[in-house]
Structure 1
């Protein structure tokens, strides 16, 4: 028996098919750093929209779509979920491709900066044209990947986040393997937390000094776990920067 068409109201208002940075659609080698950043944000927005479709159906990328005896489940829109999952796979591949060129451009930028600092002529290097744009991103490749990408909005008392030492207002530089260049609107943080329940994750943060101006950098050990007395595995709320 078919499912009601009303289920389609949950579909995201984005086009179907690989329209982003897939091979054969856009020549990323001709993109400026600003265009690559815009492409990255566009893909991440699409990923967020499609992820919300799965969430509205109560499934993930790995949830089984069949009953124990092999029939399609009748409590979800199986066709829509399959289409959504396929689109997410396309977008993730597009995102990896964009990030490859973005990171390559950043490395070229840092190399140009180093040459400039050493007094080496950099004329003719195409990356120098990007210097005014990229200078605000970071001063080295290490600091770029650890540029804060999220802020702690709240921390529940007695939660794993509280016990690890996280506080409201902390800026997240890295959360396990997740950082500024790969967090995908924080969706990767959720994946890392789910995959590491009961295991310690290193969380690098920037915290405002309480006694005066300036900030300090801290590395905390956070263990996601259930049954701590509240909701979720962390007990904190993160918001993207």
Structure 2
């Protein structure tokens, strides 16, 4: 599988620190576009910091002492500690940004509902209401979180789980299990979902260009990650972020 397999970064929650060493950002005052930019910036820095830990051969939970309690001399302990603290701050910032993005989506769908209600009153017709849904439960569907592609299928190995599910090179991914464009974290969440669901079927929402004409087709494919299919990885496909 060609997606980045970052370390699982789990750490106790602490108070969020400044995002740039100065005054902490007030995410509540940012527009949706600015929140999306901040989300991408945080995810890029998290990816870079994860690479720093990888370069030392450690994770968030790795011990910095030897088995007999002495500080390890094979790593830069000060740098690892500083990097871990920064990761904790950034993950808290990321959670806050995602919460404000969800709030913005709720407000957007509330406006749509109010607009449709006004049209129904003006025209004297009945219009079905559109209920806003939560980003976290993936129930917005095509009108929300799973309408925007976040990854593209670069290649698919023959006879792989991805090929058996019907994935094709050129497909764009709108949803991968519970992962969508707001929470994929540069595809690290896709890798995590695959690892956690080996042998279990996942719904993959795909947009595919029509071969016999203009336009696209949206598909819901069932993909089961598994080993021992004859190639590398659990999927047998290469994904790149959009």
TM category (shorter chain) comes to: 0.7 to 0.9
Residue in structure 1 matched with residue 31 of structure 2 by the alignment? 32
| Cα distance, 1:233 vs structure 2 | 1.9
Residue in structure 1 matched with residue 85 of structure 2 by the alignment? 86
**Bigger Cα displacement from structure 2, 196-205 vs 144-153:** 196-205
Q: CA RMSD in A?
A: 2.7
Deviations 1:175-229 (A, max 9, x none): 1111111011111111111222222222111111222222222122222223322
Deviations 1:121-144 (A, max 9, x none): xxxxxxxxxxxxxxxxxxx94332
Measured in 1, the distance between the counterparts of 2:222 and 2:140 equals: 24
Residue in structure 2 matched with residue 105 of structure 1 by the alignment? 104
- Per the alignment, do residues 109 and 198 of structure 1 end up closer, same or farther by CA in structure 2, a change over 3 Å counting? same
Measured in 1, the distance between the counterparts of 2:36 and 2:227 equals: 37
Measured in 2, the distance between the counterparts of 1:82 and 1:228 equals: 40
What is the DSSP-based 3-state SS (H/G/I as helix, E as strand, rest coil) of the residue aligned with 1:177? Answer: coil
Q: Is the 8 A contact 1:110 1:141 kept in 2?
A: no
Residue in structure 2 matched with residue 189 of structure 1 by the alignment? 190
**1:145 matches 2:145:** yes
TM-score normalized by the length of structure 2: 0.74
Measured in 2, the distance between the counterparts of 1:168 and 1:88 equals: 34
| Cα distance, 1:57 vs structure 2 | 3.4
TM-score normalized by the length of structure 1: 0.74
Residue in structure 1 matched with residue 134 of structure 2 by the alignment? none
Deviations 1:56-101 (A, max 9, x none): 3344445555556665555444443343233222211111101111
Deviations 1:103-162 (A, max 9, x none): 111211121122223327xxxxxxxxxxxxxxxxxxx94332102111111111222212
The count of aligned residue pairs is 205
- Per the alignment, do residues 118 and 44 of structure 1 end up closer, same or farther by CA in structure 2, a change over 3 Å counting? same
Measured in 2, the distance between the counterparts of 1:199 and 1:76 equals: 38
Residue in structure 2 matched with residue 5 of structure 1 by the alignment? none
Q: Which runs of 5+ in 2 are unaligned?
A: 1-15, 120-138
Residue in structure 1 matched with residue 163 of structure 2 by the alignment? 162
**Bigger Cα displacement from structure 2, 228-237 vs 104-113:** 228-237
- Per the alignment, do residues 235 and 95 of structure 1 end up closer, same or farther by CA in structure 2, a change over 3 Å counting? same
What is the DSSP-based 3-state SS (H/G/I as helix, E as strand, rest coil) of the residue aligned with 2:144? Answer: helix
**1:20 matches 2:7:** no
Residue in structure 1 matched with residue 178 of structure 2 by the alignment? 177
- Per the alignment, do residues 99 and 210 of structure 1 end up closer, same or farther by CA in structure 2, a change over 3 Å counting? same
Measured in 1, the distance between the counterparts of 2:194 and 2:218 equals: 22
Residue in structure 1 matched with residue 212 of structure 2 by the alignment? 211
- Per the alignment, do residues 67 and 212 of structure 1 end up closer, same or farther by CA in structure 2, a change over 3 Å counting? farther
Residue in structure 2 matched with residue 238 of structure 1 by the alignment? 239
- Per the alignment, do residues 41 and 162 of structure 1 end up closer, same or farther by CA in structure 2, a change over 3 Å counting? same
Correspondence 1:122-137 to 2 at 5 A: none
